[in-house]
Amino acid sequence: MSEAIRVVDLEKSYGDVHALKGITFNVDYGHIVGYIGPNGAGKTTTIKIIAGILKPDSGDVIVGGYSVTKSPLSTKKLISYVPEDGGLFDHLTLMEHIELIAALRSASDVEIARGMELLDKFGLTDKLKHRISTLSKGNKQKLLVAGALMVDVDVYLLDEPLSGIDVTTSMEIKEMLREMAANGKAILFSSHILEMVERLCDRVVIIDKGKIIAEGEMEEIKHSATLEEFFSRLVAENNE
């Protein structure tokens, strides 16, 4: 089976807002797929449905062969998730955050060691006993990424993971994600930093107003433009 995530015809409304209008795409094992679109396009809604946090009105997502609507416990075990916001308890220390994730995910010693290694790489080792509330925005985000990448699962959902993170650390995370994909992991990566998406992702799915407006291999989809140029043109055409 090459598909780690199969998103099938997702529909989701919030009251009068029709947020997703039949979203279908796949993420294969060993691939990093960029999920991009303007503000309010429906990216976070899609990712929350894949993560099993939101229920779709119709459609389904199959993760590792299990349905998120019918077997959410099975799919959640296969997924690690960086949410766009939330995900941290301010009163915990950094160490307690790692311990909490370790407990929730029944992490092995190897996974916990990886979490500590990531914190070290991100320059957070001297803050292990500090409360999360005292961290800068970028350091909070680094902690969130470390917690999500420490667990060894098949599927990683990263919703704006680099938000507020400095360039050097972003490049390090990019290299880590590449290595993870080379080891067979499936990664769905949502970001407004299109330069990073262009350099990191093998495939891209572009969503606007709840519908996919383009999808394909990064190189073939851009037609020798930059992703930023292609994206701007496409969204403008979709709004004509």
Q: Where along the sequence are the contacts to ligand ATP (CB under 6 A)? A: 14, 17, 19, 37, 39-45, 84
In the complex, minimum distance from the CB of residue 213 to ligand ATP, in angstroms, rounded to a whole number? 13
CB 20, min distance to ligand ATP, A: 8
User: Which of 19, 165 has the CB closer to ligand ATP?
Assistant: 19
Q: Among residues 150 and 206, whose Cβ is nearest to ligand ATP?
A: 206
Q: Are 187 and 32 in contact (CB under 8 A)?
A: yes
Identify which of residues 5 and 151 has a Cβ nearer to ligand ATP in the complex: 5
Q: In angstroms, rounded to a whole number, what is the distance separating the alpha carbons of residues 189 and 197?
A: 8
Minimum CB distance to ligand ATP smaller for 131 or for 192 = 192
Which residue spans within the chain are E strands per DSSP? Answer: 3-14, 17-28, 32-36, 58-63, 66-67, 79-82, 155-159, 186-190, 203-208, 211-217
Strand order of the β-sheet with 58-63 is: 17-28, 3-14, 58-63, 66-67
Comparing CB distances to ligand ATP, the nearer of 81 and 122 is 81
DSSP result, 158-185: EESTTTT--HHHHHHHHHHHHHHHHTT-
CB of residue 36 vs ligand ATP: minimum separation in angstroms? 9
Q: What residue type is 18 in one-letter code?
A: H
Instruction: Determine the Cα–Cα distance for residues 235 and 213; give it in Å rounded to an integer.
Output: 8
CB of residue 211 to ligand ATP, shortest distance in Å: 12
Least Å distance, CB 143 to ligand ATP, is: 20
Nearer to ligand ATP, 43 or 140 (CB): 43
Q: Least distance to ligand ATP from the beta carbon of 40, Å?
A: 4
Burial state string for 80-103 with b = 16 or more CB within 10 A and e = fewer than 16 = bbbbeeebbeeebbbeebbeebbe
